[in-house]
């Protein structure tokens, strides 16, 4: 495989805004921040957070408004009360509804524990050393659907699968204890198990076509179609195979990079993550220095959003009309959490609650009723507040 495939003429495409995906990112930024704060309250020894303690968390939470204003915006989750000793200091604890949602979350983590194990295993399988730094995994745990304290509650339960290792510079990583061959199948390979998109060529290797959803007008351009047809004809390199023998400057390596990024995003619950989280794993996944150019070079596969003062990359095939095509049970649970947030959203004008949706007990009853009919998933947990967020 160490050879230079004939060069593909690449076309420079203009970035096109996708309003439906931008809306998803905008919505889930608030959802993620609310869950971070929920977990912080739950971890607090006092059972509440003070306005002073969260004053500097705005950037960390990815918010565009002060944290105090954000907490007051969602009274169905956070109950405000004066500090026991300093009456002028606002404090926030979880409402009964938030506590109920949290208990659901813990139960669902237990129910879908095998999903988390497989996701973590597949991510480690793609890395060069079959290991990843713990701090990098913490940054991704919200996206991957891992429990909040997965390194304490999940990893020790599977010593035959994972082990902790410490590098000479003191960095703690999680490493695979064994290679689970049954998991070495990518999402693209699974979606083509019937052979629909396989093509055989003289090279004796098979090519898999990536699903393409171009911005309006691009897919019909002859030069774009020619470029993509040549790209799709290249042999597909599984992200779980050794790529060290592939010419780093070849078109084949570029398709391999697209495949790795496609697989990482396929492992996430919402088929998206922040660009900087992937940058931190560049060397581990044998990605080129400027690999993020791939996101704008292949707008039929990826969408790069600049919403919420950060850069988020989304796998376009994961969404249809602004909704997940195949939502994980945990993603449905997060939708429920977001619904509870919105039912208690304060009017910005006078600070009052929406009159028809200000009864927390009624909301609790509704949640319990829904839970008996629909199987929910686990997570709503996020990276700990000590993990530095990105801004780009």
* pTM exceeds 0.85, yes or no: no
pLDDT at 267 over 90: yes
* Contact predicate 177/162, CB 8 Å: yes
Mean pLDDT check: name the lowest of 79-93, 146-160, 191-205, 335-349: 191-205
Q: Is 65 inside any structural domain?
A: yes
Q: What are phi and psi of 87, to 5 degrees?
A: -60, -25
For 274, the 3-state DSSP assignment is strand
Q: Is 36 inside any structural domain?
A: yes
Mean pLDDT score of the chain, rounded to an integer?
82
How many domains does the chain contain in total? Answer: 1
For the chain, the helix, strand and coil percentages under 3-state DSSP, each to the nearest 5: 45, 10, 45
pLDDT confidence of residue 388: 35
Retrieve residue 323's tokens.
């909704």
Q: Is 57 inside any structural domain?
A: yes
The boundaries of the domain holding residue 343 are 21-100+330-350
CA dist 196 and 301 (Å) reads 19
CA dist 30 and 23 (Å) reads 11
pLDDT 10s digits, 363-379: 444 444 444 333 333 33
pLDDT at 202 over 60: no
* Residue 78 backbone zone (phi > 0: left; psi -120 to 50: alpha; other: beta): beta
166 beta partners: 172
| Tally of CA atoms within 13 A in the half-sphere of 71 that contains its CB | 28
Q: Is 251 inside any structural domain?
A: no
pLDDT confidence of residue 310: 83
pLDDT confidence of residue 346: 58
Q: Tell me, what CATH number does 82's domain have?
A: 1.10.10
Q: Is 182 inside any structural domain?
A: no
pLDDT 10s digits, 59-115: 888 888 899 999 999 999 999 999 988 888 999 999 999 999 999 998 989 999 999
- Beta carbons within 8 Å of 127's beta carbon, 6+ residues apart: 281, 284, 285
Burial of 203 (0-12, 13-18, 19+ CB in 10 A): exposed
* Contact predicate 227/9, CB 8 Å: yes
Q: Is 268 inside any structural domain?
A: no
pLDDT confidence of residue 85: 87
Residue identified by tokens 């970035």 is 15
pLDDT 10s digits, 100-157: 999 999 898 999 999 999 999 999 999 999 999 999 999 899 899 998 889 999 999 9
Q: Is 335 inside any structural domain?
A: yes
Q: Is 266 inside any structural domain?
A: no
CA dist 366 and 90 (Å) reads 30
Could you tell me where the DSSP H helices lie in the chain?
19-43, 58-61, 67-73, 96-111, 113-126, 134-144, 150-153, 187-191, 222-233, 251-267, 275-279, 293-297, 329-343, 360-373
Among 187, 195, 286, smallest CA distance to 246 is for: 286
């Amino acid at each position: 495989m160490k050879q230079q495939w004939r060069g593909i003429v690449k076309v420079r495409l203009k970035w096109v805004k996708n309003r439906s995906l931008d809306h998803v990112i905008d919505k889930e930024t608030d959802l993620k921040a609310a869950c971070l704060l929920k977990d912080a309250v739950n971890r607090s020894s006092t059972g509440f957070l003070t306005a002073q303690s969260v004053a500097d968390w705005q950037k960390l939470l990815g918010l565009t408004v002060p944290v105090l204003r954000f907490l007051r915006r969602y009274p169905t989750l956070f109950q405000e009360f004066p500090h026991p000793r300093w009456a002028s200091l606002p404090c926030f604890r979880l409402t009964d509804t938030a506590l109920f949602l949290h208990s659901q979350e813990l139960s669902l983590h237990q129910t879908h524990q095998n999903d988390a194990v497989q996701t973590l295993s597949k991510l480690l399988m793609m890395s060069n050393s079959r290991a990843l730094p713990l701090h990098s995994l913490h940054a991704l745990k919200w996206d991957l659907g891992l429990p909040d304290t997965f390194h304490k509650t999940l990893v020790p339960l599977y010593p035959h699968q994972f082990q902790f290792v410490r590098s000479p510079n003191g960095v703690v990583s999680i490493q695979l204890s064994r290679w689970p061959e049954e998991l070495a199948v990518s999402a693209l390979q699974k979606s083509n198990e019937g052979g629909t998109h396989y093509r055989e060529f003289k090279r004796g290797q098979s090519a898999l076509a990536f699903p393409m959803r171009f911005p309006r007008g691009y897919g019909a351009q002859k030069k774009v179609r020619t470029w993509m047809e040549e790209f799709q004809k290249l042999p597909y390199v599984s992200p779980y195979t050794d790529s060290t023998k592939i010419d780093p400057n070849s078109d084949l390596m570029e398709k391999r990079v697209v495949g790795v990024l496609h697989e990482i995003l396929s492992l996430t619950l919402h088929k998206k993550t922040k660009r900087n989280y992937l940058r931190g794993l560049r060397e581990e996944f044998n990605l080129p220095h400027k690999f993020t150019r791939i996101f704008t070079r292949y707008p039929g596969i990826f969408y790069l959003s600049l919403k919420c003062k950060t850069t988020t990359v989304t796998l376009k095939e994961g969404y249809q009309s602004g909704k997940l095509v195949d939502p994980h049970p945990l993603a449905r649970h997060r939708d429920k959490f977001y619904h509870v947030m919105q039912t208690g959203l304060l009017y910005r004008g006078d600070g009052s609650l929406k009159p028809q949706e200000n009864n927390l007990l009624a909301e609790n009853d509704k949640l319990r009723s829904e839970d008996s009919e629909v199987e929910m998933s686990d997570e709503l947990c996020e990276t700990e507040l000590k993990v530095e967020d990105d801004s780009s």
